[in-house]
Amino acid sequence: MLSLVALTQGVPQALIMLAVCIGYQQVENYVLQPTIQGRAADISGFFVIASVIVGAALLGVVGALIAVPLTASVQIVIRELTTERRAAVALAHAATPPSGSVPEGD
């Protein structure tokens, strides 16, 4: 639409406006949107993009719309199921002395 308005000023100006619009759209789609959605849903940008691609491929527009909330839900379920194990691993790491240290009393 902006390119059509810029066309009243000339073809080069319309092409420049088209390039600016396409560049802005690409930055928004591949940089800003995954970052914002990832922070809001507490998932990485990679998973945002991957889930939207898979959701769109499987269910079209509806799949793309529900992909990020579904991915966040799966991540929360996995996090809850592995809470005890992660706590046990953290406790084991805390109890293990750092490598290269000399035990006291020897």
Give the largest Cα separation in the chain, rounded: 87
104: in domain:
no
- Domain membership of residue 105 (yes or no) is no
pLDDT at residue 106 greater than cutoff 70 = no
Helix pair angle (45-81, 33-41), 10° resolution = 10
Look up the domain containing 8 and give its range: 2-94
Residues 73, 23: Cα–Cα separation, whole Å: 32
Is residue 101 domain-resident?
Answer: no
> Model-level pTM greater than 0.85?
no
In this prediction, residue 55 carries a pLDDT of 93
**Does residue 73 form part of some domain?**
yes
Four-residue CA torsion sign, 23, 25, 29, 32: positive
In angstroms, rounded to a whole number, what is the distance separating the alpha carbons of residues 48 and 43?
7
- Tally the domains of the chain: 1
Q: What is the pLDDT of residues 60-104, one digit of tens each?
A: 999 988 998 899 899 889 988 999 988 888 888 888 877 666 666
